[in-house]
Amino acid sequence: MSDKVIHTYLFKAGLWRADGKYFDEGGREYPVEGESRITHRNALWYNESDMKIFGSQEIAFNNYYEIVPFHEGRDVTFWTSENDALGKLSGQFVLAGDTILSVYRSENAQYTGSEYLLRVSDIVYRNWGAIFCGPDKLSSWMMRLNRV
């Protein structure tokens, strides 16, 4: 019997809905909702995501990721993203059992961040992350992703 985890997020095309909590630079908490659409075409994987933060002002973030698929036997791959607030980002995804880790930075190295995606089931992942500008936290979040 194999203990190898079969990931579905990123690895299978589909739509994921997300909801959770967003924390700004001062630690203030806001509800957040969004979706992530994964597609596979032209030898790449794509993740188009939209997130809305609800509070005194509604804020929206859009990301468009181009992901190099994981090669057989490898547990790390690379991605790039266009983020409407942070500019061009580049990073790596790393598989660690039931977890997908992501570390990244902006093209000008001003912004860095990390994310942790925990597989709960084939259709549910939990996500935690943070973005920094130099030594200062810009935001952090915790979300639940459900495959639609």
- CATH code assigned at 78: 2.40.128.20
Range of the domain at 71: 14-147
Question: Model confidence over 86-131: pLDDT tens digits?
Answer: 899 999 999 999 999 999 999 999 999 999 999 999 999 999 999 9
Render pLDDT for 48-59 as a digit per residue (tens, 0 to 9): 999 999 987 788
In a domain, 2, yes or no: no
- Number of structural domains in the chain: 1
pLDDT of residue 84: 79
Structure tokens at 133: 């500008």
102 part of a folded domain: yes
In a domain, 3, yes or no: no
Collect all residues with Cβ–Cβ distance below 8 Å to 82 and sequence separation of at least 6.
63, 64, 88, 89
- pLDDT for residue 1: 41
d(CA 135, CA 148): 37
In-domain check, residue 6: no
The whole-model pTM stands at 0.93
Which pairs count as long-range contacts for 68-76, CB under 8 Å and 24+ apart, including other chains? Answer: 68/44, 69/40, 69/43, 69/44, 69/45, 70/11, 70/95
**Nearest-5° angle of CA 88, CA 11, CA 101?**
55
